[in-house]
Structures are given as C-alpha cells and as structure tokens.
C-alpha cells in the first residue's frame, strides 16, 4: 500500500473518532424528568383552567387522532378550543391512574408518553347550572425537543 493510502485511512479513522466523540451524550433520565414536568404542568393547567399554561408546551401545528379521525390543527384553534373547554369549568380530579410510560429516542429529540388519567370536572353554563363529567382518559402524546424544550406534536386518545 502506498504511503498516501495509509495516510488517507489514518485520517478517515481520526475523523470518524472525532465525530463520534463530538456526539452529545443524552441523559435519558433527565429527559424523562422533564417530560414528567410537562405532564405535571398539564395537570396544573387543568386545575387552574389556564389555557396559556396548557399551550406553553405546544407547537404551531398539532395532530389529534380520536373517534376514527385524524385532524391537524394550529395553535390559534387550540387556544379557542381550550378557552371554551375551560370556560366556567372546575376540576376536582385530573389524576394518574397508572404511572406514565415514557420512551425517549437515543438522541433525545423525540419522545412519547402514554398516560391514563381519571378526570372529574363540572362546567357551569351561563345560568350557573353545572354539568358534571367524569371519565378516564388513556392516550399517547408525542413530543419533539426544540430549542431545549419538549413540545407536544400529536395525541391519540381514548375514553373509558
């Protein structure tokens, strides 16, 4: 083998090792804690009926899968929807029935969380009459990490 071929092989090996060494190690457990904090923020947002808090981990576009349909919506539509949903509502329960199941990609940029939550809420109409709803929600939420923050991208939901 000629000297330049040895040099070329050596340079490629050094470059490969350098690139591998530059890859950032992801602390999966720290990312898991961050995602659990997002879930806890969602819980607080429901009890406070705070649309801004709920949307603080949202993206511009959001996909929902429910009742045999796939819908894509934007932040403005979500704000409108949750403003109506939270209007004159009081939450008495929004509690995990099972610990959330979380999976995070090895590079720490994508994740999903499966939750099963018991919800009990009362929503009052303009006359003050309350309608109580109690249900169990189970679903999967997907996340993407952008600019160091976990943001919701899609949700598949079921109700018991």
Evaluate whether 82 touches 58 at the Cβ level (below 8 Å). no
Q: Would the pLDDT of 140 be above 50?
A: yes
Judge whether 43 and 94 are in contact, CB under 8 Å. yes
**β-pair partners for 104:** 111
What's the pLDDT at 104? 98
* Domains (range + CATH), the chain: 26-159 (3.10.450.50)
pLDDT range class, residue 126, cuts 50, 70, 90: confident
Q: Please, are residues 120 and 35 in contact by the beta-carbon 8 Å criterion?
A: no
Query: What is the model's pLDDT at position 19?
Result: 47
Tell me the Ramachandran region of residue 88: left when phi exceeds 0, alpha when psi lies from -120 to 50, beta otherwise: left
pLDDT in tens, 71-122: 999 999 999 999 999 999 999 999 999 999 999 999 999 999 999 999 999 9
113 exposure class (CB count in 10 Å sphere: 0-12, 13-18, 19+): buried
pTM confidence score: 0.82
The Cα 140–Cα 115 span in angstroms is: 6
Distance (Å, whole) CA 10 – CA 150: 40
Please say if the pLDDT value at position 20 is more than 70.
no
CA 101, CA 112: separation in Å to the nearest integer?
Answer: 8
């Amino acid at each position: 083998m000629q000297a330049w071929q040895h040099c070329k092989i050596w340079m490629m090996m050094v470059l490969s090792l350098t690139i591998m060494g530059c890859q950032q190690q992801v602390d999966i457990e720290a990312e898991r804690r961050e995602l659990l904090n997002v879930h806890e923020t969602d819980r607080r947002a429901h009890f406070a009926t705070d649309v801004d808090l709920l949307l603080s981990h949202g993206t511009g576009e959001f996909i929902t899968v429910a009742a045999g349909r796939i819908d894509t919506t934007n932040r403005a539509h979500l704000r409108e929807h949750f403003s109506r949903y939270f209007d004159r509502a009081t939450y008495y329960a929004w509690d995990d029935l099972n610990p959330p199941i979380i999976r995070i990609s090895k590079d720490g940029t994508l994740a999903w969380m499966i939750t099963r939550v018991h919800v009990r809420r009362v929503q009052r109409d303009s006359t003050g009459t309350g309608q109580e709803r109690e249900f169990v929600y189970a679903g999967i939420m997907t996340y993407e990490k952008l600019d160091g923050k976990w943001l919701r991208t899609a949700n598949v939901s079921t109700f018991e």
